[in-house]
Amino acid sequence: MTFDQLVAFLAVAHEGGFSAASDTLHKSQPAVSKLVRNLEDELGVTLFDRRQYRATLSDAGRLFLERAEALVEHTEALRTFGRQLGGQIEAVVRLAVEAVTPVGPIMVILRGLQERFPAVRIELSTERLAGAADALREERAEIAVATTLGVGLTKLERVHFRTVRILPVAHRDHPLATCKKPIPPALLRAHPQIVLRDSAHDPAAPSLNVLEGGVRWSVTDVTAKRDVILAGMGWGGLPEHVVAEALAARVLVRLEVPEFEVQAMELFAMRRRDRPHGVVAQALWEELGRSGPTSPAPRRRRS
């Protein structure tokens, strides 16, 4: 019994005929028929009923199918692992993701990648503001999903991934929640603004929607920022997908803050042009490109 015989058997079973199986396998129909016939002769059983136009599995064929599928799947997984050990497939792929990125689409892509390359380790890091692009520069990641804030694009290629709206919010019991709109800047500065601390190593990295001269609390992830705001201890901008439920339940209130320069963040998948990309990193790049819209939505600004 050979691997090619099993693959031919599965192709005929799944495609419902020898002709369709030959197209799938890019082999001639006589070659596929011979592989299956030799398998039957070796096993001493008839796997297909050939009396009808479409080849149908015999009782023995149906019992054999499940075992054959498992064996072929395990063999292909072993081959993939062997290629990985031989250096054809990278052992680790590192993805740096801006903290405001919706997790759902990323998980769908990584799940598909895991199914295709089960032996590859994925290292997913969450960065803030210019930190994801920093990870590319310092070669701590092969691919980043981030804004182009403070990023030199000459050495990077990019594809648009998502547009994330940033909404200034406060708890409904916070003093700012009942203020007349728009809220005066002096009043905003009197209450702690909860901001994400940039994970970039460059201390001069540009900030985003931070009111200068005001009281400021800094946190290192979006979940902590949301929790502090939900506790009524400050206000700040959060991604729409993070606060949608709390806004609908009227636990959080949207604020009108003209000083917010950015109402939407354009997120791009980015990678370096001057570095080679492995098989898995290339597959990840292609999936990120397919997942995103064809062009960024226009940025919304308030007058």
User: The pTM is what?
Assistant: 0.64
The total number of structural domains in the chain stands at: 3
Give pLDDT tens digits for 121-132: 999 998 877 778
More confident residue, 78 or 194: 194
Tokens of 300: 């919304």
Same domain, 54 and 138: no
**pLDDT over 90 (residue 6):** yes
Same domain, 114 and 225: no
CATH number for position 49: 1.10.10.10
Q: Strand ranges (DSSP E) for the chain?
A: 48-49, 56-57, 92-98, 121-127, 143-146, 156-171, 193-196, 216-219, 236-239, 252-254, 264-272
Give pLDDT tens digits for 57-70: 989 989 999 899 98
In eight-state DSSP terms, residue 149 is T
In eight-state DSSP terms, residue 216 is E
Which of 64, 85, 106 is where one domain is finished? 85
Range of the domain at 55: 3-85
131 in any annotated domain: yes
Return the H-helix or E-strand segment holding 243. Answer: helix 240-248
Intra-chain end-to-end CA distance of the chain, in Å: 74
214 in any annotated domain: yes
301 in any annotated domain: no
Same domain, 70 and 188: no
Mean pLDDT of the chain: 85
For position 205, what pLDDT does the model report? 53
CATH number for position 99: 3.40.190.10
Tokens of 169: 């919010």
Contact call for residues 229 and 252 (beta carbons, < 8 A): yes
Same domain, 103 and 66: no
**pLDDT over 60 (residue 295):** no
Same domain, 25 and 118: no
CA dist 195 → 21, 186, 223 (Å):
58, 18, 12
Same domain, 156 and 274: yes
Same domain, 197 and 286: no
More confident residue, 252 or 259: 252
Contact call for residues 159 and 268 (beta carbons, < 8 A): yes
